[in-house]
Amino acid sequence: MNVVTRAVPDAAAQALRTAGVHPVLARLYAARGIRAPGELAADPKDLLPPDTLRGLSEASTLLADCIEQGRRILIVADYDCDGATACAVGIRGLRMMGARVDFLVPNRFEHGYGLTPAIVDLALRHPRLGRPDLIVTVDNGIASVDGVARARALGIDVLVTDHHLPGDVLPEARAIVNPNQPGCPFESKHLAGVGVMFYVLLGLRAELRRRGRFAPAQGGARTEPPLQSLLDLVALGTVADLVRLDRNNRLLVELGLRRIRAGQACPGVNALFAVAGRDARRAGCGDLGFALGPRINAAGRLSDITLGIECLLADDGGDAARLAAELDTINRERRQIETDMRDEALADMAPPDAACHALVVMREHWHEGVVGLVASRLKDRHHRPVVAFAPSAAEPGTLRGSGRSIAGIHLRDVLDLVSKRHPGLILRFGGHAMAAGLSLPADGVDRFAQALEAAVAETADPSCFAPEVLTDGPLAAEDVDLDLVGHLDAAVWGQGFPPPLFCDQADVLAQRLIKDRHLKLDLRVGGARRSAILFGRTDPLPARPTITYRLMRNDYGGRSSVEIVVESVLD
């Protein structure tokens, strides 16, 4: 394992310190590309302008016309947290502007992904809305060529809002809003599906403003829909979908976190914080990514994501609490299933040798909704792209797969290469650089594994397979206190802007096993004695290991203290 300490540009760090940024954070931000204090500002006016999104003008006109004519709008969402939050943002925002709108989500096990012809036919019989006049896809649709064609044949307009990479052919929708579509000049190509939907609402509000929809209230101020009230949901979906946190996405997340901490989140978000045992007043990205997001995703993996959407749409605190409790129960079941599948996969798989470039796993009894999590765990363990498969409940004779990749290997492009070289082997696929989904014939696993191995070996730089740990170096004892932990917890970290990981040599003063699974440690690090924990390890540490670690606030027994969480032991 190659351990590298991030370089810190001195001029940038000094500029941030001079502007009043905490010295440790100044160092961390400078090492992640922040060059000036203004890049840390959190003002909605700093968001990229909506009008640079290709297709936004057409989408805004289409939606405004539907609202003015009282036409029925149906949102068709994806079945993950990004799709659920995008759907909730769309429903709430459109209703603010007077739309007649409802939603429909494909069931992962019955319908598959995206706007398929079958989903369009199902939409015709929507139990609450009836036959829609316009279908709006959120977090899907860019690959739904056949589904859009089916809707058009039935006289239903389609607006595609998506962020996934397009294929060779775009659907013939009335409008497409996707920062990754050809010819789109929008600077941030990393918007999550919920971010795209939020921008569509900004464009729609501007179009309705031009039409004089928002009459001035008494005193002359315009009464416009407060779209900023949706930013808690935008932040949740953005973090949960692991999109790159570029400047624009970090701003969206920061604005959402501020609303959550200020007690301005919707009842569903507050209820999810409560069942997760997290304090919304100190909300951070870790809460969104590791506590709230998994509870919503669990519904889509094991049951029906509709439950998660209903939680996010609930306006009554009691209803939100009941729905959040159901999501929590499903998530506990998901964790057990995932643990069993992961342990089975790890037990059966020896560490790959240097000649192995990709891993493919499948079991007949695995749950198709959890294979992506197994692929992620194996990818982390073996530092190889991994695709995990399980039988499809809806399509006998078919396998559903989910893949996760490592830096430097674009998984969707690799699958595209396999598909072109072996026509008919992959029935369907889609995704992006780090994650993808696909379907295979039940007898195609061995052929796919060979084809994937060949494609990765041919296209990947060999350096991709040498694990590299980027750290932020050591911390001085005088820098470590609850004030620093508070700053770290409040900052926006995530994909492309990784959370701090410190590295130093430690003296092990004491260690003991707790719950037969974790090591409780007493360490001397940076000249100071610290309480620490190492999750998931039972073997004792050597006397003077080099460790990577992060800081955590421990509020046990009503007393707050700083605790070290050991992430890895390097020697």
- Do the beta carbons of residue 358 and residue 456 sit within 8 Å? yes
Sign of CA dihedral 27, 30, 35, 41: negative
Coil vs helix vs strand at 386 = strand
User: pLDDT 10s per residue in the chain (571 long)?
Assistant: 688 999 999 999 999 999 999 999 999 999 999 999 999 988 999 999 999 999 999 999 999 999 999 999 999 999 899 999 999 999 999 999 999 999 999 877 777 778 999 999 999 999 999 999 999 999 999 999 999 999 999 999 999 999 998 988 999 999 999 999 999 999 999 999 999 999 999 999 999 999 999 877 666 666 899 999 999 999 999 999 989 999 999 999 999 999 999 999 999 999 999 999 999 999 999 999 999 999 999 999 898 899 999 999 999 999 999 999 999 999 999 999 999 998 888 887 778 887 899 999 999 999 998 999 999 989 988 999 999 999 998 889 999 999 999 988 999 999 999 999 999 999 988 877 888 999 999 999 999 999 999 999 999 988 888 888 899 999 999 999 999 999 999 999 998 999 999 999 999 999 999 988 899 999 999 999 999 999 988 899 999 999 999 999 998 878 899 999 999 998 7
C-alpha–C-alpha distance, residues 387 and 447, integer Å: 13
Q: What is the CA radius of gyration of the chain?
A: 24
Residue 1, pLDDT score: 67
Residue 515, pLDDT score: 85
Report CA-CA distances (Å) from 31 to 127, 253, 455, 476, 562. Answer: 53, 20, 34, 17, 24
Q: Which domains does the chain have, with CATH numbers?
A: 2-41+469-569 (2.40.50.460), 50-326 (3.90.1640.30), 349-465 (3.10.310.30)
Give the CA diameter of the chain. Answer: 74
C-alpha–C-alpha distance, residues 391 and 536, integer Å: 30
Give the pair of three-digit tokens for residue 361.
């796993």
Amino acid at 288: L
The DSSP output letter for 494 is: B
C-alpha–C-alpha distance, residues 468 and 1, integer Å: 6
- Do the beta carbons of residue 152 and residue 123 sit within 8 Å? no
CB neighbours of residue 20 within 10 Å: 8
Residue 346, pLDDT score: 83
C-alpha–C-alpha distance, residues 452 and 460, integer Å: 12
C-alpha–C-alpha distance, residues 568 and 303, integer Å: 35
The pTM for the full model equals 0.90
Amino acid at 210: R
Q: Which residue is it, tokens 């750290």?
A: 471
pLDDT tens sequence across 506-559: 999 999 999 888 999 999 999 999 999 999 888 999 999 999 999 999 988 788
C-alpha–C-alpha distance, residues 435 and 430, integer Å: 9
- Do the beta carbons of residue 367 and residue 388 sit within 8 Å? no
C-alpha–C-alpha distance, residues 314 and 271, integer Å: 10
C-alpha–C-alpha distance, residues 188 and 31, integer Å: 21
C-alpha–C-alpha distance, residues 101 and 113, integer Å: 21
Amino acid at 483: D
C-alpha–C-alpha distance, residues 27 and 41, integer Å: 17
Query: What is the 3-state composition of the chain as percent helix, strand, coil, each rounded to the nearest 5?
Result: 45, 20, 35
- Where are the extended beta strands (E) located within 342-466? 359-362, 386-391, 398-404, 428-431, 435-441
Residue 439, pLDDT score: 94
C-alpha–C-alpha distance, residues 302 and 300, integer Å: 6
Q: Which residue is it, tokens 């421990």?
A: 554
Q: Where are the alpha helices (DSSP H) in 482-552?
A: 482-490
The DSSP output letter for 225 is: -
Give the pair of three-digit tokens for residue 53.
């999104």
C-alpha–C-alpha distance, residues 39 and 251, integer Å: 9
